């Protein structure tokens, strides 16, 4: 989901970027990621919101009591499981769909699509409204520190972020940063991340390898239990 872009253009970008013949393999990678990492932070009673859900790779494969997907691209609905509540809207209007009910909010490879830091600030305000007190925001995205050129190879990348600049932005919005992995996954699923489930599982078990291949950060930020 990209803010301030025509939904039809967005649909074409994703159709070109993620050919149908690659979607099954991409989904298998996300099955392993969800089962062996992300699920550790999510209880079975949680309400989970996936913003910029894409084709549902995360939200389809995570277990939770209630699952909500949000994307500007109407095509996303075709790929979501029947138990997922879908809202077509911009990220900076997140609170129109979710307000104070999310235990976990997740974004993957999204923040770099925002047009500028003003829109990032507006989005983080919406995340704070969407989360319950004590709720967490899980973020995965390309780390500009380790991708000084490749970062801009995608036409719809506008906002450059490192793990440190994002942490600063989160703290300015009163989030508590509880986890930061500055080098996690490779840049894209076309990178050198092993594609077969066993090897993806093995990669997750070997953090030393992340320091070589990892180009994306993984950050968890928590909404305070009481107002600041």
User: How does pLDDT run along the chain (228 residues), one tens digit per residue?
Assistant: 444 566 555 555 555 555 565 668 888 899 999 999 999 999 999 999 999 999 999 999 999 999 999 999 888 999 999 999 999 999 889 999 999 999 999 999 999 999 999 999 999 999 999 999 999 999 999 999 999 888 888 888 899 999 999 999 999 999 999 999 999 998 665 555 556 678 888 999 999 999 999 999 999 999 999 765
Task: Give domain status of residue 178, yes or no.
Answer: yes
CATH code of 160's domain: 3.40.50.150
Task: Give domain status of residue 41, yes or no.
Answer: yes
Task: Give domain status of residue 227, yes or no.
Answer: no
Task: Give domain status of residue 184, yes or no.
Answer: yes
- Number of structural domains, the chain? 1
Contact call for residues 115 and 160 (beta carbons, < 8 A): no
Task: Give domain status of residue 1, yes or no.
Answer: no
pLDDT given at position 14: 56
For 48, list phi and psi in degrees, rounded to 5. Answer: -115, 135
Rounded Cα gap, residues 87 and 122, in angstroms: 19
Task: Give domain status of residue 150, yes or no.
Answer: yes
Class of residue 78 by CB neighbours under 10 A (exposed 0-12, middle 13-18, buried 19+) = exposed
Rounded Cα gap, residues 174 and 167, in angstroms: 11
Task: Give domain status of residue 201, yes or no.
Answer: yes
- Domain span holding position 143: 7-222
């Amino acid at each position: 989901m990209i803010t301030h872009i025509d939904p039809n253009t967005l649909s074409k970008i994703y159709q070109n970027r993620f050919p149908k013949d690659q979607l099954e393999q991409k989904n298998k990678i996300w099955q392993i990621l969800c089962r062996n990492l992300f699920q550790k932070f999510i209880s079975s009673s949680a309400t989970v919101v996936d913003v910029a859900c894409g084709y549902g790779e995360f939200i389809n494969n995570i277990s939770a009591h209630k699952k909500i997907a949000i994307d500007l691209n109407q095509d996303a609905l075709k790929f979501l499981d029947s138990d997922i509540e879908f809202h077509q809207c911009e990220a900076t209007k997140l609170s129109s769909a979710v307000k104070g009910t999310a235990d976990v909010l997740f974004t993957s490879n999204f923040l770099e699509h925002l047009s500028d830091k003003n829109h990032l600030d507006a989005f983080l305000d919406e995340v704070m409204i969407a989360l319950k007190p004590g709720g967490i925001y899980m973020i995965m995205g390309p780390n500009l520190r380790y991708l000084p050129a490749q970062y801009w190879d995608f036409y719809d990348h506008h906002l450059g972020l490192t793990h440190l600049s994002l942490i600063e932005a989160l703290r300015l919005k009163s989030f508590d940063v509880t986890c930061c992995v500055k080098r996690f996954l490779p840049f894209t699923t076309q990178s050198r991340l092993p594609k077969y489930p066993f090897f993806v599982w093995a990669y997750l078990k070997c953090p030393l390898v992340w320091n070589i291949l990892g180009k994306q950060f993984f950050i968890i930020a928590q909404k305070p239990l009481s107002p600041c």
